[in-house]
Structure 1
Amino acid sequence: MYEWTAGGYDAAVREQIRGWLAEDVGSGDVTTETTIPRDSRSKAVIHVKESGVIAGLPVAKLVFDVVDPSLVFEAKVQDGDQVDKGNVIAVVEGSTHSLLIGERLALNLMQRLSGIATKTNAFVNALEGLPVRLVDTRKTTPGHRLLEKYAVRVGGGSNHRFGLYDAVMIKDNHIKGAGGIKAAVEAARHKIPHTMKIEVETESFEQVDEAIACGADIIMLDNMTAAMMKNAVARIKHAAPHVIVEASGGVTLETVRGIAESGVDVISVGGLTYSFQALDISLDLNAKKGGDSL
């Protein structure tokens, strides 16, 4: 479920938008102020220049609303829709000054979020028919995690933990610092509430066996081959059927299905939010199509 209102994001994102606008606008848009009459009004058409999955329309609407509440924003599609090159995704009408001030921030955000949603959707399609969940990671752009994880859901994926605060994930450096998997798991179990899960990152069969013995709730198979993962999954499911098995590390669109076929429950892909191609989206003032004003 990725409905924007269900996340209750408006207040938090509005605050971020104010900061982003301050960074971009500073003391004022000198180009617009010196070239366009203050009372000028326009209709702006936002359209895509390549196919993909749209994400971020509610964010763009918020941008224009923060800039000027009198602007009228009308979405022509919904987040999660697949669009083709040339499709109009929104129309905004009102003060030309306000439209041009909000243009770049609105486009930047929509382009990035749509790029994430499009890439996520490609991975989801590659996994069609398999009982596995595709999730993101914490490898997000600082300050944009809320939005980028939203875009992953729009693309059909799911979210891993949001931050360091909502789950225990014992990785290689924690294992080294604690003196081993057993020591790390036992220390965490003693201090966290019973409602919180413990995940352990493993790189070998020995570590997998130790994580099973320690009672880890989730075992991550990190940078293993598909064959190794299949063996590890068999070990885990035989000894502890309730344990969730996650695959991670170097997952690509070409390898993701083979990894899923090893029997893992979850596949995490950091590249969904740090290695994607932004979708090309443009805004045109008073644009016309087929001779008629839009």
Structure 2
Amino acid sequence: MLGGVTVTFLKKDGDLVTPGEKIALLSGNTLNILQGERTALNFLQRMSGIATLTRKFVNVLEGSKAKLLDTRKTTPGLRIFEKYAVKVGGGENHRFGLSDGILIKDNHIGAAGGIKNAIEIIRKNTGYGKKIEIEVENMSMVKEAVAMKADIIMLDNMSVPLIKEAVDFIDKRAITECSGNVNIDTISQIAATGIDYISVGELTHSARILDFSLKNLVKINEA
């Protein structure tokens, strides 16, 4: 009970729901229920929308080896909830923050003067045990990343044929991930390349809400 309101859940996280189905019953002080209604529904709708979209992507990937990842493109202040919603939908989480892993991006490569320099600087200044992931955009960069023994190679904004070429060249010498311009219509083709992970920003930045409403208040309790 919170604020004089008791909630009885009829569904648990990850359960499928159908239109018109009840998911919870509330009882208690009507004023408290109505004061919290919109905030609670906003959270519920937002997270359920993310979980639902994630499940759609996961269903498309069924039968492939590829795993679905989210990104850090989340709503400020809500990352922990949105990434939890991805997990509920059957996806997996990428980094929560910059300190959770080393990802060398294009601007880092530019600042360091190339892939070789960037990886050498990271290895010199990072403790043992952290994997190094590097973002690449073409086969020349793929080959340099493999030569430098990067742990994870992210294929950024590549066409499906180029992803396939890169995955074949890497040949399990690094974990492979792709990102950029992935959607529900293209993800099965990308998975067919043999990629290990596919990261999709759309899961959190573009998911439509799942519409819920509070209905059938039957008694006003003024206590």
TM range (shorter): over 0.9
Match of 2:74 in 1: 140
Post-superposition CA distance 1:225-274 (Å, at most 9, x none): 1111111001101xxx2410001100000000000000100000001000
Unmatched segments (≥5 aa) in structure 2: 219-223
State TM-score, norm by structure 1: 0.73
How many residues align? The count is: 219
The residue matched to 1:199 in structure 2 has which SS? strand
Q: Aligned letter for 1:284?
A: K
The structure that has the greater radius of gyration is 1
Q: Aligned match of 1:102 in 28, 33, 36?
A: 36
| 1:217 Cα deviation after fit | 0.4
Q: Does 1:261 align with 2:192?
A: yes
More strand by share: 1
Query: Which of residues 13, 22, 27 is equivalent to 1:93?
Result: 27
What secondary structure, in the 3-state scheme, does the structure 1 residue paired with 2:213 have?
strand
2:130 corresponds to 1:196: yes
RMSD, aligned α-carbons? 1.3
**Identical positions, percent:** 52
Within 5 Å, which residues of 2 pair with 1:110-125? Answer: 110-125=44-59
Distance 1:98 1:190 in 2: 57
Distance (whole Å) between structure 2 residues aligned to residue 272 and residue 193 of structure 1: 32
User: Which amino acid in structure 1 is aligned with residue 25 of structure 2?
Assistant: V
Q: State the SS of the aligned residue for 2:214.
A: strand
Unaligned 5+ residue runs, structure 1?
1-63, 288-294
**Residue 280 of structure 1 corresponds to which residue in structure 2?**
211
Q: Does 1:71 align with 2:5?
A: yes
* Aligned partner of residue 99 in structure 2, secondary structure: coil
1: CA distance between counterparts of 2:47 and 2:147?
A: 41
> TM-score under structure 2 normalisation?
0.96
Question: What residue number does 1:39 align with?
Answer: none
Residue aligned with 1:157, SS = coil
8 A contact 2:152–2:177 mirrored in 1: yes
Cα deviations across residues 181-212 of structure 1 (Å, max 9, x unaligned)?
11111111111122211100000000000111
State the 4+ residue runs in structure 1 displaced beyond 3 angstroms: none
